[in-house]
Amino acid sequence: MEEILSGALYVVATPIGNLSDMTYRAQYVLDNVDLIAAEDTRTSGVLLRHYDVKTQLRSYHSYNLKTETPKLVKLLKQGKSIALISDAGTPGISDPGYQLVQACIEQEIKVIPIPGASALTAALPVSGLPINRFVFEGFLPQKKGRKTRLEWLSQEDRTVVFYESPHRIERTVNDLIKFFGDRKCVMARELTKKFEEIFRGNLSDLKTRLEVKKIKGEIVLLIAAKSL
């Protein structure tokens, strides 16, 4: 496999549930860098033990990224190779990553992508909705700005993709019906895991489905474009 570059930041995707979705390259990079910056060192510890990776872990979380970003940049400048991972999936996608990558770019530090799983790219191709063009919204704001985002997105002419938690899905579906009307939608839940479910229907069907049985697990919600 390739030589690990000193003084480079590797942005490494990890599985979103099924541990067999780790790539050979990701495992190799994690095994051979000097340091791994991980969102949650305990969560990533479990993952890394599974692949027998013994590289030192260090926390890089939304709570400490202000203080940690300059420290990691300093280590990179000193020639250390660092891998950035999140709890699951691709760093930076609704996860910490952007600030560190931005700081590296400013300091002319090489940033190398190690692509792999993301709930976004896992859900899109199985949705059955047009995905040549789509818009990714991530998590909707809970309070301030929620109504404005929903009004704006309801006019979108592309498939709209949200991340959502099982505790908030009912409220979000109700809001979507209010702002978007009874559009086609897809709920992709627990992707790559034992209880994987891909629900396709209209928003009102999804509302009924959620009333019948409370759901658990992680969710990607896709809404058809206005014109579909």
Q: Which of 23, 32, 43, 94 binds ligand SAM (CB under 6 A)?
A: 94
- Shortest distance (Å) from residue 28 CB to ligand SAM: 20
| Residue numbers 126-185 binding ligand SAM by CB under 6 A | 163-165
| Residue numbers 9-68 binding ligand SAM by CB under 6 A | 16-17
Name the one range near ligand SAM by CB under 6 A: 73-81, 90-98, 168-176, 199-207.
90-98
- Shortest distance (Å) from residue 79 CB to ligand SAM: 28
Name the one range near ligand SAM by CB under 6 A: 44-52, 69-77, 89-97, 149-157.
89-97
- Shortest distance (Å) from residue 18 CB to ligand SAM: 8
Toward ligand SAM, which CB reaches closer, 36 or 75? 36
Q: Which of 188, 203, 206, 215 binds ligand SAM (CB under 6 A)?
A: 188
- Shortest distance (Å) from residue 7 CB to ligand SAM: 25
DSSP of the chain, one letter per residue?
-PPPPTTEEEEE-B-SS-GGG--HHHHHHHHHSSEEEES-HHHHHHHHHHTT---EEEE--TTTHHHHHHHHHHHHHTT--EEEE-SSB-TTSSSS-HHHHHHHHHTT-EEEEE----HHHHHHHHH-S--SSEEEEESPPSSTTHHHHHHHHTT-SSEEEEEE-TTTHHHHHHHHHHHH-S-EEEEEESTTSTT-EEEEEEHHHHHHHHHHS---S-EEEEE--TT-
Q: What residues line the site for ligand SAM (CB under 6 A)?
A: 16-17, 86, 88-90, 93-95, 118-120, 163-165, 188-193, 218-220
